[in-house]
Amino acid sequence: MLYAYAVLATLTAFVGTAHADSIYCNATNSCPEDAPCCNQFGECGTGSYCLGGCHPLYSYDIDACMPMPVCKNISTTFDDKDSIMSVNHYLGDPDDADWVYSGYLEDYNDANLLAMPNHTSGTVVSSTRFLWYGKVTSTFKTSRGNGVISAFILFSNAQDEIDWEFVGYNLTAAESNYYYQAVLNYTNVETIGTTDTFANYHTYEVDWKEDELKWSLDGEVVRTIKKEDTWNDTTESYHYPQTPSRVQFSLWPAGDSNSIGTMEWAGGQVDWDSEDIKDYGYYYFILKNASIECYDPPSGTLINGDNAYVFNSSSNFDQDAVMITDNSTVLCDSDSTGLDNDEDECDASSSTESDSSSDSDTSTTTKSKTSTKTTSGDDESTTTTSRKKSSKSTSTVNSAQVTQFFQNSEQTTTGSTNLALAVSAAPILSIVTIFLSLIFCV
């Protein structure tokens, strides 16, 4: 399933009324100069819209999108939700956090729980750095139920995509899939049989090389494709994922806003009166760990630094258009874009603001860093994130607006959303809450 378009359809169902003035971007409609960045879900804006997921072709200008943080080996044990930063607070510095999220996140034993309360559009967790070929491994349990989708994907700004996806009505199947720049090709999907993905932890892996792509399940390679077999005579190009991508985990619903094909694939409408909704108030996906191993960039890559990936063409978004530079990946504030993000002014503003408010909380309008409490392993390029939970449990979830992954952080609140409150208010108040948050927070 093409992740971005399916989720966009879901988001539009919630956003449409409150966002009548939203500007959408696609292959035939680029963003305007005053909202130059086209985000992952096809909306134009500034600030966070210009970070991960910013589409260079659909944006006003290729330089509106911020450079993409280069890959770094990491190994994360998801045993503390506080190790994942809300997108409300993220301005593009990957040293602030390895992962960001939007939606509802909760601690669960030695894992994190991605929740989808009654009549919400779920949760997304994303890496802050981009992977340009490498190996990603993760252990998790999927959700369940008709219309409920769990996903582990690699997704690039140019909309290359590599998927492990799971439809909740068939818990003994794992779907592998891939896309080149959002080109639909229904022959790319292949289903792999397994044991119950809701009841059992499984370990899934994507091994992505320049010339070959492998999917593994519980340590066994279950599918391999070669780049040479993806040549397309019409476009005279390889329809093979080949551009820097973020790692994402998500839980989202199929619904009326999606196409008939999407709903059929997902098993129909979500049952908001299901066993999990009755017992807990939400559907859930349990994420235990993830590791990212970076491979060397392709031979011949233009390298003028080691901090960020950028596209050096405004018309070609294949592998040969990617270069590595020392360009900054950090926005000055939530109104900035790649077109007006002056690094000197940014540093001066950050320094002044930090001096005048040293006792205040980290602001979304500065580039002051929050502590990620990481420890270095034997390899200096590896960061291990494994935080022990406090003995005092909490159900408070710092949440970005659940109906959009990246958004303008100045226009969103930095408060917290209580999962228990969301559950107790559902189903009567859930839709009202979403629309109020859209009106006043976005």
Report whether the peptide linkage leading into residue 427 is cis, meaning its omega lies within 30 degrees of zero: yes
Active site residue 410: no
DSSP state of 43: B
**Counting every residue, how long is the chain?**
442
Q: Is 345 annotated in the active site? A: no
Cα–Cα distance between 193 and 203 in angstroms, integer? 14
Q: How far apart are CA 127 and CA 90, in angstroms?
A: 12
3-class SS letters over 409-439: HHHCCCCCEEHHHHHHHCCCCHHHHHHHHHH
Sign of CA pseudo-dihedral 224, 227, 229, 234: positive
Considering 161, 210, 236, 380, which one is annotated as catalytic? Answer: 161
Please count the CA atoms within 13 angstroms of the CA of 401 that sit on its side-chain side.
25
CA-to-CA dists, residue 105 to 39, 129, 417, 441, angstroms: 22, 20, 10, 19
> What is d(CA 114, CA 287) in angstroms, rounded to the nearest whole number?
7
Q: Which of 364, 441, 412, 399 is nearest to 89 (CA)?
A: 364
Distance CA 401, CA 410 (A): 12
**Of 43, 165, 175, 205, catalytic:** 165
CA distances from 178 to 142, 212, 262 (A): 20, 12, 16
What type of residue is 311? Answer: F
Closest to 50 measured CA to CA, from 70, 27, 31, 72: 31
Cα 360 to Cα 48: distance, rounded to the nearest angstrom: 22
Q: Which residues are catalytic?
A: 161, 165
